[in-house]
Structure 1
Amino acid sequence: MKEITFYLDFVSPYAWLAFEQLPQVLEGISHRVVYRPVLLGALLKAHGNPGPAGIVPKRAWTYRHATWLGHSTGVGLDMPARHPFHPLPLLRLALECSQDGSINRFTAGAILRHVWQGGHDALDPARLDALRAALAEQLRGDPEQAKQLLRANTDAAAARGVFGVPAFEADGRLFWGHDSLPMLRASLLGDAWFAQHWEAAASVEQGLGG
């Protein structure tokens, strides 16, 4: 059985798209997915990356592209009323549903739909209360423990080389982005390309001086 670690932050539209398409990508492969919430902002900061929202034209393109992908794939994606937003309340709520830093697919899906379906404000207090009520049977920890788990998840992800979300780790390889899903599937199926090119493609000499 293959184990895939799915690093996600609910603020990412591509995390939602990948979440919805992952079952189809993994069809026919014996697998277990571990969902790990991480703080995208901390990962971006660690690499000096402003993220799409920090570059005005890229922000506009990202929102158009993500919305188009939601339409073209049939997944559906509505931009929330405000974006980006601080995802800490959602990440910590997710990890109140955890004892070890991982969450189940039900929890991940409920929070992602809360953000990416309907075009509402993801941090509206009444909606957050309703989301907490919907997850009541999943709640296992407390807010302080959730903070610690989020910090540990994010630090561990950074140590593994994760620089953005969605990211997937399987068989010792990291895959980044919604568009890496076909590559992830090929790797899990043992495509011979990986033995020949995975390391070689990343070992090209740096062409810019320090």
Structure 2
Amino acid sequence: MAAPLKVEFHFDFGSPNAYLAELALPAIEQRTGVKFDYVPVLLGGVYKATGNMSPAESLRGIKNKPEYNARETERFLRRHNITKFRMNPFFPVNTLALMRGAVAAEFEGMFESYFRAAYHHMWVEPKKMDDTRVFREAFLSSGLDVDRIIARAQQDDVKKKLIENTSSAVARGTFGSPTFFVGNEIYFGKDSLRDVEDEILMQLSSGKRKTA
């Protein structure tokens, strides 16, 4: 019997495209029977390691491309019936504290509630989440024990885990967010989700793998 198929979603809260892509994952999970592993990475670290830059930087000064990019986002929103999305007026936001918090929340068994709250305060009711006071008050308003998460995020094992996640992702081919892995196959961007689902179904069928 083949091992369960491993499917991963590598994310950074600072990427609006990762937020939008994640909203489409539950439907893919329902259709395929797989569960995505959510892997926090530091996008700034990915960019530094690969020489990449954010779309906001790479599109600056290019005629027509930013407008097309915005149109593609609108199409994605319609296709997946996404209504809760607002561009963060403080973008780009330094996400180091947010991403260490994600690892800390994972270690403390609070990942799901932290993940939902972080995305809410970044892209639903957007705030300047790299401001320490704003960060704390936002998570408190969502009912999280944020002081526990903040304290845990300062521990060396949390910092080390985020660095390891990021370095490993780059070694496997990552250059931005969102990135998906279906087994060893890498896919980039929210517009690759149809291919991600096709790859899942193909690997499940060809390898007779169990769902994770």
Give me the TM-score of the superposition, normalised by structure 2. Answer: 0.77
Q: Which runs of 5+ in 2 are unaligned?
A: 207-212
Match of 1:50 in 2: 53
| One of 54, 59, 78 as aligned partner of 2:86 | 78
Instruction: Write the distance in 2 (CA, Å) between the matches of 1:113 and 1:173.
Output: 30
User: 2:117 touches 2:139 (CA, 8 Å); kept in 1?
Assistant: no
Residue 41 (structure 1) shift: 1.8
Task: Encode CA deviations 1:14-44: one digit per residue, 9 max, x unaligned.
Answer: 1100111111122232222211111112212
User: 2:17 touches 2:189 (CA, 8 Å); kept in 1?
Assistant: yes
Residue 71 (structure 1) shift: 4.4
Q: Which runs of 5+ in 1 are unaligned?
A: 195-210
1:143 and 2:143 correspond: no
Match of 2:10 in 1: 7
Identity %: 27
Instruction: Write the distance in 2 (CA, Å) between the matches of 1:108 and 1:118.
Output: 14
Give me the TM-score of the superposition, normalised by structure 1. Answer: 0.77
Q: CA RMSD in A?
A: 3.1
Match of 1:38 in 2: 41
Instruction: Write the distance in 2 (CA, Å) between the matches of 1:32 and 1:106.
Output: 17
Q: In structure 2, the residue corresponding to 1:15 is in which secondary structure? A: helix
Q: In structure 1, the residue corresponding to 2:162 is in which secondary structure? A: helix
Instruction: Write the distance in 2 (CA, Å) between the matches of 1:92 and 1:158.
Output: 18
Please state which structure has a larger fraction of its residues in helix.
2
Match of 1:28 in 2: 31
Instruction: Write the distance in 2 (CA, Å) between the matches of 1:106 and 1:132.
Output: 10
| One of 165, 171, 193 as aligned partner of 2:183 | 171
Residue 123 (structure 1) shift: 2.9
User: 2:180 touches 2:188 (CA, 8 Å); kept in 1?
Assistant: yes
Instruction: Write the distance in 1 (CA, Å) between the matches of 2:133 and 2:68.
Output: 28
In the TM superposition, what are the counterparts of 1:47-196 in structure 2 within 5 Å? 47-55=50-58, 56-57=60-61, 60-61=66-67, 64-65=70-71, 68-69=74-75, 71-72=77-78, 73-75=80-82, 76-99=84-107, 104-133=111-140, 134-136=143-145, 139=149, 141-144=152-155, 145-190=157-202
- Greater Cα offset, 54-63 or 158-167: 54-63
Number of equivalenced pairs: 193
Bigger relative contact order (CA 8 A; separation at least 6): 2
